[in-house]
């Protein structure tokens, strides 16, 4: 993770023509400005409070607090409310800005893009995430809205098969729960609970501001000076990690659902990276490994595609969250068990006989090129930067990590993180 000081520091990578300026504001907010000559500017405030943060201590030595599932997402919905009754979206609309927010397992992100009135929009953004306002009436109203959203989510087949996989892979880790929570869990949310969470987590010292576009760091600092306190309270909340065993919870989850064809997700449970450096290495190595194992140009995909076992709706990826990591292979497939056998056999074969240096180098170059494409977009660059910061890593070093990866490192990571015998499968079968 980049070292952040009150003085501004410029970080530059000539190889990818990427630069950012970073510093810590007097409030404790960490700021990253990514200069890009674009017509639109983009800004995102990321709060290190996500769907997995359901157990914490307000401060060292305090009793552990248990939060209902879905509280981070509920807060995302409510942080746009202003005490004067005006919604922040209304304020953004007056400037022509496009605003949004999302909740992930490890963070909540509030963002906007605009072509003008950047400083006005930044004031709206910073004010909305640091001035919570909740009432009994507004919270009860929001419960009905989110309950409908949960219902829509439950009707989504991709979401259902993925949820089945997470609950099969994990016994205790909160990743097995939905980001939205359940209708029962959100019923327990009160204004007092929301204020508790904002007091504990919504402090500038637990946030990042990332800005990308033709924007001056001086302008960003001036707006922060206007909106944020000179010295915000320290961040004292202590997250309580789940004690997750190495073994999977269940090898198989099968559900009937009104789909035309079976959906299958195969997951391989990995050890969580022990450090930010290991996280970066594992992610880079497995991006290459998955390209080699299951990429569209590889033997495995083409053999199964030509046989009719899989279709274009096939993909794989490696993911890390706080305290967990896994590889997922998903497909629409008439014979899920046949696909499971093929996937496990391919992983076992390549752990025994890894790819050639030529095959590895071709895959590494392809992954490296994919690292660069998003950097043309101010939005993608800022969101990638934010995601890496939450994990304690630096997005600007990601392409370099991929490019410097060796075949021996990638093989070692494959052996450590993708075990064909440490798997679970989630299947959605046509039916009611």
- Single out the residue in 187, 213, 239 at which a domain terminates: 239
Question: Using an 8 Å Cβ cutoff, are 253 and 425 in contact?
Answer: yes
Residue 279: band (very low, low, confident or very high) from pLDDT cuts 50, 70, 90: very high
Residues 172 and 262 in one domain: no
Give φ, ψ of 218 to 5 degrees: -60, -40
Give yes or no for residue 1 having a pLDDT over 70.
Answer: no
320: β partners: 325
Q: Which of residues 193, 210, 239 is at a domain's end?
A: 239
Retrieve residue 274's tokens.
């022990």
Place of tokens 């942080």: 79
pTM check: above 0.85: yes
Count of domains in the chain? 2
Contact 130, 227 (CB under 8 A): yes
What percent of the chain is predicted at pLDDT more than 90? 94
Asked if residue 89 is part of any domain, the answer here is yes
Q: Is residue 245 part of a domain?
A: no
Q: Are residues 77 and 224 in the same domain?
A: yes
* Same-domain check for residues 163 and 282: no
- Shared domain check, 263 and 396: yes
pLDDT of residue 2: 65
Distance, CA of 29 to CA of 225 (rounded, Å): 11
113 and 18 in one domain? yes
- Split at pLDDT 50, 70, 90, the class of 82 is confident
Decide if 333 contacts 161 (C-beta within 8 A): no
Segment 249-272, tens digit of pLDDT = 999 999 999 999 999 999 999 999
Q: Flag whether 211 is in a domain.
A: yes
Residues 297 and 226 in one domain: no
197 found inside a domain: yes
The mean per-residue pLDDT over the stretch 198-225 comes to 97
Average of per-residue pLDDT values in the chain? 95
**261 found inside a domain:** yes
The yes-or-no verdict on residue 162 having pLDDT over 70 is yes
Question: Minimal CA–CA distance to 290: which of 322, 252, 328, 323?
Answer: 328
Contact 44, 210 (CB under 8 A): yes
Q: Could you give the C-alpha distances from 55 to 74, 103, 237, 252, in angstroms and in order?
A: 16, 17, 10, 28
In a domain, residue 2? The reply is no
CA distances from 365 to 217, 296, 355, 362 (A): 34, 15, 15, 5
Range of the domain at 399: 252-430
Give first-to-last CA distance, the chain, whole Å.
48
* Residue 273 belongs to domain with CATH number: 3.30.830.10
- For the chain, give the percent of residues with pLDDT over 70: 99
Q: How many CB atoms lie within 10 A of CB 112?
A: 23
Query: Is 1 a domain residue?
Result: no
Question: Is residue 284 located within the same domain as residue 233?
Answer: no
Q: Are 233 and 97 part of one and the same domain?
A: yes
d(CA 53, CA 321): 12
What would the pLDDT profile of 297-335 be if each residue is shown by its tens digit? 999 999 999 999 999 999 999 999 889 999 999 999 999
- Indicate if the pLDDT at residue 4 is higher than 90: no
Predicted local confidence at residue 432, as pLDDT: 72
Confidence bin at 231 (pLDDT 50/70/90): confident
Contact (CB, 8 A) for 319 and 383: no
pLDDT the model gives residue 228 = 96
Among residues 173, 206, 239, which one ends one of the domains? Answer: 239
Question: Three-state SS for 336?
Answer: helix
Separation of alpha carbons 117 and 43, rounded Å:
12
pLDDT of residue 3: 63
pLDDT grade, residue 83 (50/70/90)?
confident
Q: What angle do CA 122, 123, 124 make, to 5 degrees?
A: 90
Is position 98 within any domain? yes
Adjacent-strand bridge partners of 65: 56
Q: How far is Cα 384 from Cα 31, in angstroms, rounded to an integer?
A: 15
DSSP strands (E only) in 104-223: 108-114, 207-213
Q: What is each CA distance from 404 to 310, 358, 367, 368, in whole angstroms? A: 33, 15, 12, 10
Write out pLDDT tens, residues 25-72: 999 999 999 999 999 999 999 999 999 999 999 999 999 999 999 999
Paired with 211 in beta bridges are: 33, 43
* Same domain assignment for residues 38 and 119: yes
Give the Cα separation of 195 and 202 in Å (integer): 10
Q: What are phi and psi of 32, to 5 degrees?
A: -130, 125
- Eight-state DSSP code of residue 356: P
294 & 209 share domain: no
Residues 367 and 411 both lie in one domain: yes
145 and 169 both lie in a single domain: yes
């Amino acid at each position: 993770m980049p070292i952040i000081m009150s003085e501004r520091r410029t970080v530059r990578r000539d190889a990818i023509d990427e630069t950012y300026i970073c510093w810590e504001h007097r409030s404790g907010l960490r700021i990253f400005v990514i200069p890009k000559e674009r017509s639109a500017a983009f800004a995102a405030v990321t709060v290190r409070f996500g769907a997995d943060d359901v157990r914490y201590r307000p401060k060292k030595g305090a009793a552990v607090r248990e939060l209902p599932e879905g509280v981070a997402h509920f807060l995302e919905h409510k942080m746009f409310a202003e005490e004067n009754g005006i919604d922040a979206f209304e304020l953004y609309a007056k400037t022509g800005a496009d605003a949004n927010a999302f909740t992930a397992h490890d963070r909540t992100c509030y963002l906007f893009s605009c072509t003008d009135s950047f400083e006005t929009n930044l004031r709206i953004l910073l004010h909305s995430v640091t001035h919570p306002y909740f009432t009994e009436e507004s919270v009860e109203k929001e419960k009905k809205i989110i309950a409908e959203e949960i219902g829509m989510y439950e009707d989504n087949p991709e979401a259902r098969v993925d949820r089945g996989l997470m609950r099969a892979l994990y016994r205790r880790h909160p990743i097995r729960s939905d980001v939205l929570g359940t209708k029962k869990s959100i019923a327990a949310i009160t204004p007092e609970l929301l204020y508790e969470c904002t007091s504990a987590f919504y402090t500038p010292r637990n946030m990042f501001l990332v800005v990308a576009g033709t924007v001056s760091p001086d302008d960003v600092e001036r707006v922060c000076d206007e909106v944020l306190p000179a010295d915000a309270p320290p961040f004292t909340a202590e997250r309580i990690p789940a004690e997750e065993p190495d073994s999977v919870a269940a090898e198989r989850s099968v559900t009937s659902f009104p789909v035309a064809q079976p959906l299958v997700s195969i997951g391989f449970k990995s050890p969580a990276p022990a450090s930010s450096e290991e996280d970066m290495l594992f992610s880079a190595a497995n991006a290459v490994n998955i390209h080699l194992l299951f990429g569209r140009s590889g033997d495995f995909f083409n053999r199964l595609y030509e046989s009719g076992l899989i279709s274009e709706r096939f993909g794989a990826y490696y993911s890390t969250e706080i305290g967990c990591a896994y590889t997922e292979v998903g497909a629409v497939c008439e014979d899920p068990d046949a696909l499971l056998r093929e996937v496990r056999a391919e992983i076992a074969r390549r752990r025994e006989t890894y790819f050639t240096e030529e095959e590895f180098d071709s895959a590494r170059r392809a992954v490296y090129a994919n690292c660069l494409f998003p950097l043309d977009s101010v939005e993608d660059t800022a969101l990638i930067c934010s995601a890496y910061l939450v994990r304690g890593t630096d997005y600007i070093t990601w392409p370099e990590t991929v490019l410097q990866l060796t075949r021996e490192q990638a093989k070692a990571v494959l052996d450590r993180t993708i075990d064909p015998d440490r798997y679970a499968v989630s299947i959605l079968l046509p039916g009611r």
